[in-house]
């Protein structure tokens, strides 16, 4: 099922689960595009919730490694028009900075 097909389902709970599934298996090169697409869902609250779960999952797995910085920059650009999501990325960056005792 592609993202366009997900949009066709009128039930936001079904779309939410489908988005989480897609986001959980997205290739790094396609991640920004998929996040952008999810955030165009007509139910913005549901879409942001799906992306938030994705950001938390990915950040938890990346925050100790060097790939985190590039990923955070890419996701910040993808979520720039969504203040809550952008704030969550800043929180993960702060958490990373404190955990790794970075300047």
* Residue 18 pLDDT exceeds 70: yes
Q: What is the per-residue pLDDT across 66-97, written as a single tens digit (0 to 9) for each?
A: 999 999 999 999 999 999 999 999 999 999 99
Residue spans per domain, the chain: 3-99
Query: What pLDDT sits at residue 73?
Result: 96
pLDDT over threshold 70, residue 4: no
Mean pLDDT, the chain, rounded, equals 93
Asked whether the beta carbons of 40 and 25 are under 8 A apart, the reply is: no
Indicate whether this model's pTM tops 0.85. Answer: yes
Q: Is 7's pLDDT higher than 80? A: no
């Amino acid at each position: 099922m592609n993202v366009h097909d997900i949009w066709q389902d009128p039930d936001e709970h079904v779309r939410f689960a489908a988005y989480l599934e897609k986001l959980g298996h997205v290739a790094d090169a396609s991640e920004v595009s998929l996040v952008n697409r999810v955030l165009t869902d007509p139910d913005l609250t549901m879409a942001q919730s799906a992306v938030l779960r994705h950001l938390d999952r990915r950040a938890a797995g990346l925050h100790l490694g060097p790939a985190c910085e590039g990923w955070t920059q890419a996701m910040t650009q993808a979520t720039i028009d969504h203040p809550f999501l952008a704030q969550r990325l800043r929180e993960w960056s702060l958490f990373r900075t404190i955990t790794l005792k970075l300047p």
